[in-house]
Amino acid sequence: MSKLYNRARQQILKFSEIGIKDVKLVGGKNASLGEMYQKLKSKGVPVPNGFAVTAAAYKDFLLENKLDKKINNVLKGLNTHNIRALSEKGAKIRHLILNSQIPAKTAWKIYEAYSELSKSEKTANLSVAVRSSATAEDLPGASFAGQQETYLNIRGEKELLEAVKKCFASLFTDRAISYRVDKGFDQTKIYLSVTVQKMARSDVGASGVMFSLDTDSGFRNVVIINSAYGLGENVVKGAVNPDEFILFKPLLGKVKSPIISKRLGTKKLKMIYTYKGDPRFRERRSPLSSAVSHSTKNVNVSKPDRERFSITEQQAEKLAKWAVIIENHYQKPMDMEWALDGNTGKLYIVQARPETIYAQRDPLAYEEYIVHKPKISSIRKGQAGKIIVEGVAVGSKLGVGKARVIKDAQHIQEFKPGEVLVTEITDPDWEPIMKIASAIVTNSGGRTSHAAIVSREIGIPAVVGCGDATEKIKSGKEITVSCAEGEVGRVYEGKIKYSIRKVNLKQFKKPKTKIMMNVGDPVAAFDFAGVPNSGVGLAREEFIINDYIKVHPLALLNFAKLKDKKVKAKIEELTIGYKDKKKFFVDKLAFGVARIAAAYYPNDVILRFSDFKTNEYATLLGGKTFEPEESNPMIGWRGASRYYDPKFKPAFGLECAAIKQVREEMGLTNLKVMIPFCRTPEEGRKVIATMKEFGLVRGQKGLQVYVMAEIPSNIIEADSFCKIFDGFSIGSNDLTQLSLGVDRDSDLVAHIYDERNATVMGLIEQLIKTAHKYKRKVGICGQGPSDHPDFAQFLVKAGIDSISLNPDSVLKTTLKILEMEKKMRR
């Protein structure tokens, strides 16, 4: 008992002496660092050494200076929604702490531990990071991350002691007081420990944050890494748009490249060390006004460095492996910070805490926000719906309110509950108003910035990295902030219409018929994967090409020959970091496809090769140069007829290269491919031969090739098609159009267009019968079963193997299919 008591009274504990059970003594941050230092270093996870100034030392500081009663008196009658009163009370408490003295006994213990750490690193006056570690922080259900201060590049005993005292004071910053009230913590029962840790020289390297799940959807099979040059505070605060890597956990260490997505950030700033002798040094006005001390500064990043990734793919993979080790050790998703020492090239984990947002959510409660976009004609009349700015969507919700543009934290008192906060960036000082906002919009930051993390935690939408939101959005105007439309977040003028659909997946049963999905947006795939399904029956390349590549493939292949200077300039801007322009197409397509394949792994994902019509291809950047004009593109040069044509064949080769990259380098062999608009068996054989030329061989490494059944000839000659392909997917839209001779886009004959017509249904029954004779699978990926549940029931009765539905109709259509299967069993 006395031993435990003595330990509880110790004022300094080394990382080698503490573990995760010591939160009450040293706070969550220190407890986690000690746990990893002791137990994970042997598994290859490097953690810079350090020590904790314990909660006992903080208590002694309060007792010695008789601060307990003074703090309680100041906090009497606190109303955290009164921003001015909160600010005044917080400032008064911090002033009391900063003007008190650390007891001599405590100061000597800190000096002694610092000296020993410096000697162990063979460096006089070792540069250390000094961070707060509250005894209730980083607990599942309550993330105190960023609530207190961090001081970097602290050198010498005098600076160290001052930084420790500032950390003590930071327990009572406005946002920390407010946060504790909201989470139900007693202000006087939260104590502070301080982390003193050797700094990795990321000021001349890189650093960032890492999550062992997708922070928007909660998808567990990925590691998300954000990276930028210099010290990590800029990434944490959202002051820069960082590079992003997404790695697929199940295949880490098993394939050539488990990176399923990477995005180049702008990384305009980097935080580095500075010293009082530096001519650019300027003292901060307040020691608690910023998350870092005066010993750092921001500098601009050179153009060449901005246009390359701040870490290598090999370094990203190493970090991801450590993330998995850390997650497995703690048995829960984790939020981590890391640093790359630019001098030694070594990577370190400098912090790890439980992910606290998705840990609280019910995985069986599915909620979907559906945007009802207004017609263009309505927007022209001045009604709601005009897009003001776009950025990165955080979450999948939608918020409406009056905009409040605030460019400086000094003006946060102007903010009113229910307004939309529009600002450059946020940091923890902004949290008292963020929690009463209906949505957040920022100029800077990525998906792991401070604004993004807080918005997820409090459950409101945020659109970050908009660039010029503070200039384009005007205070007082009603706006809609939408994160319900995929990766791109949009801010609309006025209040647009939307609805919310809620489903309890616990009560959801899978039918015998495979229910698959039609997916276009790679980012949305992580969200949709949570809905009960058997994979993807139709993944569309068109969405990826149109929204993420934006350039005609032949314009990239013939970039040097392009004559239009404006087009070339735009392509140069889009392809920053790619000297080889065709590699840009291959990578972007591969990453888009890989995200979908990973989301549904190991279930089948059937990818349809590009099926743009000539008029659609012409709208891509540089497309007009390479596309002919056709009077009827719907039945013109599209689908299979392009792939073996010398005029387009090289572009098809890029598509094949992307598929090879996904299957062979990333290891996502659950990916199958599908040929659209294949008019004749001979055309099918030509496409198979062309694929082989580009290294995609049917049957090799399990590759299956499907064909769309959307032309009557596909069904009339089904016997021949069965000998060429592994299966069929019915495209009910085109099959109905071509069977009935109806232009599906014409309002004049729209009343005739119906998938439930006897001719169409007869053809489908005939295909299923023939395909099953040759042991070929038949699915459907057209709009029909999504729009008409009775049509879906017909398909079940006809014996179809799978039905691929639009994500928004999966749940309601599945219920109808279950009804039909129940009737058939009677």
Asked if residues 350 and 132 have their Cβ atoms less than 8 Å apart, the reply is no
* Dihedral sign (CA 453, 457, 463, 467): negative
Look at residue 823 and give its three-state secondary structure: helix
The alpha carbon of residue 701 and the mean position of all alpha carbons in its chain are separated, in whole angstroms, by 31
d(CA 545, CA 121): 52
- 723 to each of 90, 538, 694, 765, 774, how far by Cα in Å? 77, 22, 22, 19, 8
Measured in degrees and rounded to the nearest 5, phi and psi for residue 47 equal -125, 125
d(CA 537, CA 672): 10
Helix spans in 465-552 (H): 469-472, 522-528, 541-544
Measured in degrees and rounded to the nearest 5, phi and psi for residue 807 equal -50, -35
Catalytic residues: 450, 781
Look at residue 342 and give its three-state secondary structure: coil
Asked if residues 103 and 195 have their Cβ atoms less than 8 Å apart, the reply is no
Given the DSSP bridges, would you call strands 206-211 and 192-198 parallel, antiparallel or unpaired? Answer: unpaired
Quick one: tokens of 496? 């647009």
Among the listed residues 638, 713, 590, the one whose alpha carbon sits nearest the alpha carbon of residue 262: 590
Asked if residues 674 and 606 have their Cβ atoms less than 8 Å apart, the reply is yes
d(CA 506, CA 377): 42
Other CB atoms closer than 10 Å to residue 520's CB: what's the count? 20
Supply the DSSP symbol for 748. Answer: G
Residue 175: CA atoms inside 13 Å, Cβ hemisphere, count? 25
- 58 to each of 101, 108, 136, 166, 688, how far by Cα in Å? 12, 14, 14, 12, 72
d(CA 359, CA 357): 5
- Which residues lie closer than 8 Å to 711 by C-beta, 6 or more apart? 677, 678, 679, 734, 735, 738
d(CA 498, CA 795): 32
Among the listed residues 225, 259, 249, 317, the one whose alpha carbon sits nearest the alpha carbon of residue 665: 259
Among the listed residues 160, 235, 232, 242, the one whose alpha carbon sits nearest the alpha carbon of residue 203: 232
Other CB atoms closer than 10 Å to residue 482's CB: what's the count? 27
- Which residues lie closer than 8 Å to 693 by C-beta, 6 or more apart? 653
d(CA 571, CA 816): 48
Other CB atoms closer than 10 Å to residue 182's CB: what's the count? 14
Asked if residues 599 and 520 have their Cβ atoms less than 8 Å apart, the reply is no
Among the listed residues 622, 628, 593, the one whose alpha carbon sits nearest the alpha carbon of residue 610: 593
Among the listed residues 638, 629, 655, 642, the one whose alpha carbon sits nearest the alpha carbon of residue 556: 655
- 95 to each of 65, 127, 173, 286, 546, how far by Cα in Å? 13, 27, 11, 11, 56
